[in-house]
Amino acid sequence: MKVWIFLGFCMAMAMASQPPISGGITSVRNLKEAEKELNASLAKLATGDGPRYRLVKIYSATRQVVAGRKSEIVADLVDNNGKTKKCNVTIWSRPWLPDGIEVTFRCDGEQKLTRKHSA
């Protein structure tokens, strides 16, 4: 019985220490990285057709390696009128393409909005 418990423990430890699966979704532990990425996109979009949002708070973020990198960020954003909105923001980064950063905003009570900008 002790041998089985020991083997189970060893298997669990080995599986927990493996690197993430390629293409798998991983949680972003350091939300400052997600904040930097989102603020960079918000700044680029504000110089063009918008939208013009300001970041208030990030609740969570995930990343996935796809054809490029896709980040999913749940955050509070403030619009030009000072209204705070909870949004799911997807940033699909393909910097080798012209306007290779695609940003999609899904905010409560609003239609989905997608914009592109350069890297």
Per-residue pLDDT for the chain (119 aa), expressed as one digit of tens each?
554 554 455 555 554 444 555 678 888 888 999 999 999 999 999 998 889 999 999 999 999 998 899 999 999 999 999 999 999 999 999 999 999 999 999 999 999 999 999 98
Domain ranges of the chain: 25-117
pLDDT for the residue 17 = 46
Q: Characterize 67-81 residue by residue with b for buried, 16 or more Cβ atoms within 10 angstroms of its Cβ, and e for exposed.
A: ebebbbbbbbbeeee
What's the rounded Cα separation, in Å, for the pair 49 and 115?
8
- Nearest to 100, CA basis, from 115, 113, 116: 116
Written as six digits, the tokens of 114 are 């997608």
Cis peptide bond N-terminal to 98, omega within 30? no
**pLDDT tens digit sequence for 65-83:** 988 999 999 999 999 999 9
**Span 25-117: which CATH code?**
3.10.450.10
Please tell me the pTM assigned to this model: 0.79
